[in-house]
């Protein structure tokens, strides 16, 4: 099969129900991947140590730098232009830049995906990398102050496995069959960290994700009909 040259982009339409991010999809309301994997309890001792106000400020700064870096990556991959200099966030983008310049052909940036297994989300990038042949790669961009390992990396792996299975579901008619995922972590004033996931990894991790998904749905039944406004975007 020849390379797929283009796929449609679906805009995310989402809301929050009882504190959970939910997407409106052609299959109905579906919880987001990050909502399914979120575990606020692991932050409890850290929040107690830092204090609620300081902890909120740290998380807000991390979210802001991540958003800026993602936006910068999307700008470059769309237009070929790097974002304007930002004093605080530039070290993260500078770390990511060499990787961005390796990408051959982006197929999708910040697009909504969903799966009949009853979840949805927005993936960062589907693109062809050098050596991909006719099989594109799903790429997830992260920012961190130090290399990501352990349970945090495992959580990212579960995210990517879920996004890959959702993308393969949504774009099956276009001939998309993603068998590789990349987690690329931007580190300030350091080379980017990259973690590759192959087909076997993806399948095993997806089984783990489905267990968490089943638990989530048992505890959080969603309404069949929801008439409140849904916001548009891909965050």
Domain 13-219 has CATH 3.40.1350.10: yes
Q: Which residues contact 178 (CB under 8 A, 6 or more apart)?
A: 126, 135, 136, 137, 138, 164, 167, 168
**What's the pLDDT score for residue 234?**
39
Question: Which positions ≥6 away from 181 have C-beta within 8 Å?
Answer: 137, 138, 139, 140, 160, 161, 163, 164, 196, 197, 201, 202
Handedness of CA 119, 124, 128, 130 (dihedral sign): negative
CA–CA dist 40, 25 (Å, integer): 26
Low-confidence ranges of the chain (pLDDT < 50): 233-235
- pTM recorded for the entire structure: 0.91
- Contacts of residue 226, defined as CB under 8 A and 6 or more positions apart, other chains included, come to 15, 17, 22, 24, 29
Tokens standing for 195?
């973690």
Domain regions of the chain by residue span: 13-219
Note the pLDDT tens digit of each residue in 36-49: 998 766 655 656 65
């Amino acid at each position: 099969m020849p390379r797929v040259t283009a796929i449609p982009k679906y805009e995310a339409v989402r809301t929050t129900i009882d504190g959970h991010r939910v997407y409106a999809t052609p299959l109905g309301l579906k919880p987001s991947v990050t909502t399914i994997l979120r575990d606020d309890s692991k932050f409890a001792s850290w929040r107690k140590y830092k204090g609620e106000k300081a902890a909120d400020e740290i998380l807000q700064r991390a979210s802001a730098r991540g958003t800026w870096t993602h936006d910068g990556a999307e700008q470059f991959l769309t237009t070929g232009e790097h974002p304007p200099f930002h004093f605080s966030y530039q070290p993260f983008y500078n770390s990511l830049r060499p990787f961005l310049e390796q990408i051959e052909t982006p197929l999708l940036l910040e697009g909504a995906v969903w799966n009949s297994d009853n979840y949805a989300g927005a993936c960062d990038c589907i693109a062809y990398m050098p050596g991909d042949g006719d099989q594109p790669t799903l790429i997830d961009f992260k920012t961190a102050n130090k290399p990501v390992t352990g349970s945090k990396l495992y959580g990212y792996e579960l995210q990517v496995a879920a996004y890959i299975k959702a993308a393969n579901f949504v774009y099956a008619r276009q001939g998309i069959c993603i068998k590789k995922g990349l987690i690329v972590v931007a580190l300030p004033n350091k080379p980017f960290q990259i973690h590759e996931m192959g087909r076997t990894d993806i399948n095993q991790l997806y089984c783990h994700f489905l267990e968490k998904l089943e638990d989530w749905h048992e505890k959080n039944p969603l309404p069949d009909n929801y008439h409140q406004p849904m916001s548009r975007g891909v965050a």
